[in-house]
Structure 1
Amino acid sequence: MPTYHYRCKNCGYDFTEHQSFDDDPITVCPECGQEQVRKVYSAVPIEFKGHGFYRTDRGGSSSGK
């Protein structure tokens, strides 16, 4: 189940919630009760693994001559 990060625009309360993809987003702040909660989006980390992603992986012949 994915974890979503939320922040209230009214009081600034930050929290995370485990929700199914089918669940509606949370809109009411559990701290102040106002309908000012929005999802916080951030960059997703990318990790490259395997051959071909580094400068040292290029070059050289792969034909074995």
Structure 2
Amino acid sequence: MPTYDYKCSACGHDFEVFQSISAERLTECPECGGAVERLIGAGAGFLFKGSGFYQTDCRSSDYNKAAKADKPTASPPKKDEKSASKKDAKKAQ
């Protein structure tokens, strides 16, 4: 059930009412008995609690394995390979 905000046009009293969507609007201020107007609210907000939620929280282990396999592995050539290729180039000359 939603919470509705009301404001009295006579005394300016602001108040909230927890009522069903199908319930009739309030017409009378509980403070002075004047006419009230239902305000447009922002609605419910999100509350983030805990350690957080990440993209991978709901992924299966199979999905994670496939994602790792799809990533390109760009590793620089090892020092031994560089020196070996230079030695081979010198020998060829």
Normalised by the length of structure 1, the TM-score is 0.62
Structure 2 unmatched ranges of 5 or more: 47-53, 56-69, 73-93
**Runs (4+) off by over 6 Å:** none
Bigger relative contact order, structure 1 or 2 (CA pairs below 8 A, ≥6 apart): 1
Higher CA-based Rg: 2
Q: Give the aligned length.
A: 53
Higher strand fraction: Structure 1 or Structure 2?
1
Normalised by the length of structure 2, the TM-score is 0.46
Higher helix fraction: Structure 1 or Structure 2?
2
Across the aligned residues of Structure 1 and Structure 2, the Cα RMSD in angstroms comes to 2.3
Structure 1 unmatched ranges of 5 or more: 52-62
1:30 maps to 30
Identity of aligned residues (%): 40
